[in-house]
Structure 1
């Protein structure tokens, strides 16, 4: 059986689409379709059911993927090791939210950089963009705030991020925690808010989990970078909801004040995602392990 046909088959099985598999393999969609039909003729059985949106594997297709994929991944690992030894380096294409990637992920990868790993970073704040880019082969490793679905991508929980409601001291002096707990939405309507987007993603999540309601106001300042939100809030522009790792130093220095200390603070989980099977590549596996190990201290 032709290994090229099996490689294409496994790519389609994981992607759930001829079109997406073609993009990952660097082939045209008709070429992928032709290879799958050739393999089906050789086996005498259908491997996929064609649907309006992609394909679904038959039981024969699932069985073949289960048997073939580990061996193909092992061959990829052998080939990748040979390329790494020949070139002496490996470039890791990493994607993730700008703030977390800058302040957490990149410093953690420094040890691997000193060992010859090259890193290229794409900053993407939207989880769908991050995962779509990974699925399309634009990135090797992605940090996302949503768990990917389907078999094309594999994810591992990386760490949880605590969110804190903060404001500059001059605003905090006007607010009583007990009032905030009782009338959170009302207070929000009366005070300026700093956010990353008009939809108030951080404030909305905080209000839903702590106050069990939705914010009924618009932001005064919109800055699509949490570091800019932090600086604006510290300067007195208004309330903000920030990750604790990002604002911890400002809280310790008194530039910001935590307005509430809820019994169960709102959390957001980060996931470390790769295309299924690519952890067989040694450099990618080392970067993946390095980030997971570092996350234990976050």
Structure 2
């Protein structure tokens, strides 16, 4: 049996789409379709059920993928491990949320680039979790940082770290509210105050209100800007309340530029996941970056 046909089959099985598999393999969709049909003729059994959106594996398809996938991944790992040291200088493409990627991920991975520029080379893209995972699925990225756990056989995801969210504001707002007022009254103590957020839907504030106050925010965003670093700057300037990751606002908290308005017994947390396409951890550049980030993340939590 042709290994190229099996490789294409596993790519389709993991991605659930001829189109997506073609992008991953650098082939045209007709070529992928032709290879799958050839393999099905050789086996004498259908491997996929064609649907309006993508394909669903048959029982035989699932069985073949379960048997063949790990062996193909091992062959990739063997092939990559036999490359010379130049393999370490390959470009690594990664994607993730702008703030976390800029503040946590990139400073960590720059240690792999080497002072002489002969180490890993990096290319980073910013976007939502959905955008990062879509790009990973299509082969545009090697690593994706996501706040949603990826589903499906195409991805292998590892929890990276948790970030704590805190309710903050400039000191003058805290003075106006009064100490312990939020703890005693809950959301009504701050629902009338202006909010700074990253989106009109108030994702950070809504998550905090639901987890801590068991309610929904009554106000709308006074300032909406799609970058948490800009939200922090606005909060420092006194524009209103904000919910921010503690790691991002920790320096401003230490300096007294902003203060926490509430310290709940169980603070809201958000988990980051490190995702790769299944089978690609055998590639040295991806494996090195993956291991490096996991090691660094133990100090982030």
Question: What's the TM-score once normalised by structure 1's chain length?
Answer: 0.95
| Counterpart for residue 147 of structure 1 | 149
Task: Tell me, in whole angstroms, the C-alpha distance in 2 between the residues paired with 1:233 and 1:137.
Answer: 38
Once the two structures are TM-superposed, the CA of residue 79 in structure 1 deviates from its matched residue by: 3.2
| Counterpart for residue 204 of structure 1 | 206
Task: Tell me, in whole angstroms, the C-alpha distance in 2 between the residues paired with 1:174 and 1:108.
Answer: 40
| Counterpart for residue 17 of structure 1 | 17
| Counterpart for residue 71 of structure 1 | 71
| Counterpart for residue 292 of structure 1 | 294
| Counterpart for residue 95 of structure 2 | 95
| Counterpart for residue 30 of structure 1 | 30
Task: Tell me, in whole angstroms, the C-alpha distance in 1 between the residues paired with 2:265 and 2:187.
Answer: 19
Instruction: Answer with 6-15 or 64-73: which moved more.
Output: 64-73
Q: Note if contact 1:207-1:213 (Cα within 8 Å) is conserved in structure 2.
A: yes
Task: Tell me, in whole angstroms, the C-alpha distance in 2 between the residues paired with 1:287 and 1:278.
Answer: 12
| Counterpart for residue 173 of structure 1 | 175
Seen in structure 2, the aligned counterparts of structure 1 residues 109 and 171 have a Cα distance that, compared at 3 Å, is same
SS class of match (1:45): coil
Once the two structures are TM-superposed, the CA of residue 182 in structure 1 deviates from its matched residue by: 5.2
Once the two structures are TM-superposed, the CA of residue 82 in structure 1 deviates from its matched residue by: 4.6
| Counterpart for residue 7 of structure 1 | 7
Task: Tell me, in whole angstroms, the C-alpha distance in 1 between the residues paired with 2:87 and 2:259.
Answer: 51
Task: Tell me, in whole angstroms, the C-alpha distance in 2 between the residues paired with 1:84 and 1:232.
Answer: 50
Task: Tell me, in whole angstroms, the C-alpha distance in 2 between the residues paired with 1:153 and 1:237.
Answer: 41
Task: Tell me, in whole angstroms, the C-alpha distance in 1 between the residues paired with 2:86 and 2:172.
Answer: 60
Once the two structures are TM-superposed, the CA of residue 95 in structure 1 deviates from its matched residue by: 0.5
Q: What is the aligned counterpart of 1:242 among 241, 244, 264?
A: 244
Task: Tell me, in whole angstroms, the C-alpha distance in 2 between the residues paired with 1:93 and 1:85.
Answer: 19
Once the two structures are TM-superposed, the CA of residue 83 in structure 1 deviates from its matched residue by: 4.9
| Counterpart for residue 268 of structure 1 | 270
| Counterpart for residue 223 of structure 1 | 225
Instruction: Answer with 270-279 or 81-90: which moved more.
Output: 81-90
| Counterpart for residue 116 of structure 1 | 119
Q: Note if contact 2:236-2:257 (Cα within 8 Å) is conserved in structure 1.
A: yes
Q: Note if contact 2:87-2:284 (Cα within 8 Å) is conserved in structure 1.
A: no
Q: Note if contact 1:74-1:280 (Cα within 8 Å) is conserved in structure 2.
A: yes
| Counterpart for residue 59 of structure 1 | 59
Once the two structures are TM-superposed, the CA of residue 51 in structure 1 deviates from its matched residue by: 2.2
Q: Note if contact 2:193-2:219 (Cα within 8 Å) is conserved in structure 1.
A: no
SS class of match (1:36): helix
Task: Tell me, in whole angstroms, the C-alpha distance in 2 between the residues paired with 1:84 and 1:173.
Answer: 63
Once the two structures are TM-superposed, the CA of residue 282 in structure 1 deviates from its matched residue by: 1.3
Query: Structure 2: which 5+ runs fail to align?
Result: none
Task: Tell me, in whole angstroms, the C-alpha distance in 2 between the residues paired with 1:15 and 1:268.
Answer: 27
Task: Tell me, in whole angstroms, the C-alpha distance in 1 between the residues paired with 2:15 and 2:290.
Answer: 21
Q: Note if contact 1:76-1:281 (Cα within 8 Å) is conserved in structure 2.
A: yes
Task: Tell me, in whole angstroms, the C-alpha distance in 1 between the residues paired with 2:198 and 2:4.
Answer: 46
Q: Note if contact 1:84-1:90 (Cα within 8 Å) is conserved in structure 2.
A: no
**Cα offsets for 1:39-63 (capped at 9, x unmatched):** 0110111111222222221222122
Once the two structures are TM-superposed, the CA of residue 178 in structure 1 deviates from its matched residue by: 4.3
Aligned length: 297
